Amino acid sequence: MKKKAIISVLSKQTEDTDDVIEVVTPGNFYKKDDTYYAIYKETKISGMEGTTTTLKISEDKFSLIRSGSTTSKMEFYKGKEDISMYDTPYGTLELKTQTNKLIVNLDDDGGEILIDYIMSISGHKPQNTLLEINIKTQQ
């Protein structure tokens, strides 16, 4: 059963404490089989207006899937590397992520996810990044 939820996504580079991006938005949250889903629409503030973001969450894997004006699928598995393509209106980038830590603490009413990973975009210095997600369902 889908529930309305408030979804907070905070991303910060650990080397540069000033580089913090936080989005708080309404969305939907539900469970199908053993996987939780949180879905929300991006806004102008995020720079991805016209994009729908789906968070697909299981105990040992987290996927961030975007479709619309920006398209990507990033997958995080603890201790593993993933390579994905990030399509934007300005071109396509290759992203490589190495997941250091993945902590999932969710139940049917929401919860928290913490991902500590290193992200590299071709030609740029790798960035250690923390992604903190909080999902609160509304009654």
Domain boundaries, the chain: 3-137
Closest-CA residue to 53 (of 139, 137, 135, 138): 135
Q: Residue 16 has what pLDDT?
A: 64
pLDDT digit string, tens, across residues 49-89: 889 999 999 988 999 999 988 788 999 998 888 988 877 77
pTM across the whole model: 0.88
What token pair was written down for 71? 């398209």
pLDDT in tens, 117-130: 998 887 778 889 99
Architecture of domain 3-137: Beta Barrel (2.40)
Flag whether pLDDT at 17 surpasses 70: no
Residue 64 to residue 57: CA distance in whole angstroms: 9
Q: Show the beta-strand stretches assigned E in the chain.
A: 3-13, 20-32, 35-41, 51-57, 61-68, 71-77, 81-88, 91-107, 110-121, 127-137
Alpha-carbon gap, residue 76 to 61, rounded angstroms: 6
